[in-house]
Amino acid sequence: MSETIELAKALVARRSITPDDAGCQALLISRLEPLGFYCERLRFGEVDNLWARRGNDGPLLAFAGHTDVVPSGPEERWNSPPFEPTIRDGLLHGRGAADMKGSIAAFVTACERFIDQHPKHGGSLALLITSDEEGPATDGTIKVVETLESRGEKIDWCLVGEPTSVDHLGDTVKNGRRGSLNGRLTVYGIQGHVAYPHRVRNPIHLAAPALAQLSATEWDRGNDHFPPTSFQISNIHGGTGATNVVPGELEVTFNFRFSTEQSAEGLQRRVEELLIHHALDFRMEWTLSGDPYLTPAGSLVEAAREAIAEITGTETRLSTSGGTSDGRFIAPTGAQVIELGPRNATIHQLNEGVELTHLDQLSAVYERTLEKLLLQP
């Protein structure tokens, strides 16, 4: 087994369910410090974070990732225990193998080989690792970035190891993400007996036309880099559970995934204007998970594309699809940010797995990207 696979196995064996790092970062430190990295543990709340940097000069290239994983689900339905790394049919199986302990292992082994061959490389190299990506993401990468910003430490290029590949390693690289805006709507009515409709105001009936209009609205048509903004209701609740009681309140939660054609403020304003138009008695609560960001063609995108082609022979497609990632906290600092990792076919599923050959190729792609960016004259 290669160094990358062995390290990935060691990480998968740690039951690091959000926000518990379970010793993953200590293992990384034991590999990074001998390479000359200054390793800084940054703990916020219950979250362990690691900022490891080698060098003081610019430009600064940072690998970003997370050691935390989602719960395994029913362990008896796994073909092998989720935190017992198992090699089967050419894959490493275990929770986090693809999302994203395999990428973190590839970060480290790429750095080890790169530094061994180029100990006096230009610029600086760093790893930003959190245990709060799969959870609320309030005490993880965002807090580390705030710390770096407060002391004037700027990331120039950031490569996030999220699993982006679809069919072949490197066939898809994320060079941006849509924004995510969550809304919690409470519509107020008057509770009462269903047999006396003149004495009640049914908030479900009152809200239905507004919800239908929200669902049917074309918010925009997207642009060359982003699909159209989407609106989806995720939860709806009203009633006491009794069949003969009209509820006094209706609660609806929904989400916008929005392109750069929109702003969070603009979407909030349009929604609230529509609710007022429908004469609803309501309360709105908004939570912005992140604004959209885009890294256009540039040095980082081109270095990754060339490295992928050289190592795998694959032509890369740029995409902004999918959910959010911690790249949304790093991009606003002015850094070029892309996401590149293994296939995402089994992430968050039972029997999550990653191809062994892809782990070794991924490490080689990361190493080649380092050479293209940090060995420039």
Catalytic (active site) residue 249: no
Distance CA 236, CA 254 (A): 9
Catalytic residue flag (residue 139): no
Interhelix angle 3-12/24-32, rounded to 10 degrees, is 150
Catalytic residue among 21, 133, 339, 367: 133
Which one-letter DSSP state was computed for residue 376?
Answer: -
CA distance 301 to 285: 37
Pairwise CA distance, residues 199 & 256, whole Å: 36
Tokens 């940010």: give the residue: 337
Q: Using CA atoms, how far apart are residues 328 and 320, in angstroms rounded to an integer?
A: 12
Q: How many residues does the chain have?
A: 377
Provide the 8-state DSSP code for 72.
Answer: -
H helix or E strand, kind and range, residue 286: strand 282-290
How many angstroms separate the CA atoms of 65 and 303, rounded? 19
93 DSSP β-pair partners: 86, 353
Q: Where are the beta strands (DSSP E) in 25-85?
A: 38-44, 47-54, 60-66
Which among 21, 68, 99, 139 is annotated as catalytic?
68
- Going by the DSSP 8-state scheme, the letter that residue 100 receives in this structure is I
Residue 159 CB: number of other CB atoms within 10 A? 29
3-class SS string, 182-203: EEEEEEECECEECCCHHHCECH
User: CB-based contacts of 333: which residues, under 8 Å, 6+ apart?
Assistant: 145, 148, 149, 154, 155
Residues whose CB falls within 8 Å of the CB of residue 211, separated by 6 or more in sequence, listed in order: 233, 252
Q: Are strands 86-88 and 245-246 parallel, antiparallel or unpaired?
A: unpaired
CB 220 within 8 A of CB 277: no
Angle at 335 between CA 330 and CA 154, to 5 degrees: 85
| Residues with active-site annotation | 68, 133
